């Protein structure tokens, strides 16, 4: 399924529903990263980044929601990133696409909660996947004024990704989300013993009903900005 295509997404979701007779959960995790300075990035490249990372997710959700509403329940698991919580130099448009996804998911959670549809954001740090090999580098400007800083930043990104945690840790978090009868947010470290644990963390947002102002307690709100002692990640409610 090509998430950049309206027709492909609608066709994929419809075929899945017709084959199984229901649609209990959707995990939207398609994405890639562009690397380069903001000034150097053509608008077309920035739009392409959003087309997959943000609009691709929106397409999948919009195709799935009518089915889930009719069923009276469903789970939407959206793959964000630690880059949806903090800006990353030379990955500005990747981070922007994930910031957009965070705001979209929080708003969506309010809207679909009355239909017993739960929205979950998964926010991984650096994991050893093909993300590194699929990164798209932006062509530098004449004279390459950002060369030294850009190359250093990208080298650090790639080093941390190549030496990142096992992506099965993320898969296990997703599986636990889908198995949970009453999901709730809490931080988890994928490699709490590692010196890079803060970059290999996973935090996730559970339970759209907790997003309702009349259900949020003071302690819940406080947890939104408190770091996990093990890995300095944040639990987002």
Residues forming beta bridges with residue 63, ordered by sequence position = none
How many domains does one find in the chain?
Answer: 1
Count of CB atoms within 10 A of residue 207's CB?
Answer: 18
Mean pLDDT of 107-136: 84
Q: Which residue segment(s) compose the domain that 147 sits in?
A: 6-223
Distance CA 129, CA 142 (A): 32
> What is the three-class DSSP state of 123?
strand
Residues forming beta bridges with residue 119, ordered by sequence position = 76
Whether 98 is a known active-site residue: answer yes
pTM over 0.85: no
Count of CB atoms within 10 A of residue 28's CB?
Answer: 22
Highest mean pLDDT of the ranges 3-17, 72-86, 170-184, 185-199: 3-17
Structure tokens at 9: 């997404």
Indicate whether 164 belongs to any domain. yes
Indicate whether 234 belongs to any domain. no
Count of CB atoms within 10 A of residue 174's CB?
Answer: 19
Task: Report which of residues 28 and 160 the model is more confident about.
Answer: 28
For residue 17, name the pLDDT band (cuts at 50, 70, 90). Answer: very high
Whether 128 is a known active-site residue: answer no
Out of 80, 198, 201, 203, pick the active-site residue: 80
Indicate whether 237 belongs to any domain. no
Whether 94 is a known active-site residue: answer yes
N- to C-terminal Cα distance for the chain? 30
What pLDDT score does 184 carry?
A: 56
Q: Percentage of residues in the chain with pLDDT exceeding 90?
A: 46
């Amino acid at each position: 399924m090509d998430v950049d295509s309206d027709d492909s997404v609608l066709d994929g979701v419809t075929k899945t529903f017709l084959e199984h007779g229901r649609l209990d959960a959707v995990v939207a995790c398609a994405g890639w990263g562009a690397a380069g300075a903001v000034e150097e990035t053509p608008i077309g490249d920035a739009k392409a980044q959003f087309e997959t990372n943000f609009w691709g997710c929106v397409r999948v959700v919009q195709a799935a929601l009518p089915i889930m509403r009719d069923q009276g329940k469903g789970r939407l698991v959206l793959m964000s990133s630690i880059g949806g919580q903090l800006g990353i130099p030379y990955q500005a448009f990747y981070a922007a696409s994930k910031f957009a996804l965070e705001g979209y998911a929080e708003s969506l959670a309010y809207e679909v909660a009355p239909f017993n549809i739960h929205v979950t954001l998964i926010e991984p740090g650096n994991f050893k996947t093909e993300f590194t090999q699929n990164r798209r580098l932006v062509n530098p400007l004449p004279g390459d004024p950002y060369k030294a800083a850009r190359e250093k930043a990208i080298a650090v990104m790639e080093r941390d990704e190549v030496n990142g945690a096992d992506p099965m840790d993320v898969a296990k978090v997703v599986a636990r989300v889908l198995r949970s009868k009453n999901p709730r947010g809490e931080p988890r470290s994928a490699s709490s013993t590692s010196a890079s644990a803060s970059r290999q963390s996973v935090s996730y947002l559970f339970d759209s009903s907790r997003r309702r102002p009349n259900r949020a307690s003071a302690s819940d709100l406080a947890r939104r900005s408190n770091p996990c002692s093990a890995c300095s990640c944040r639990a987002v409610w």
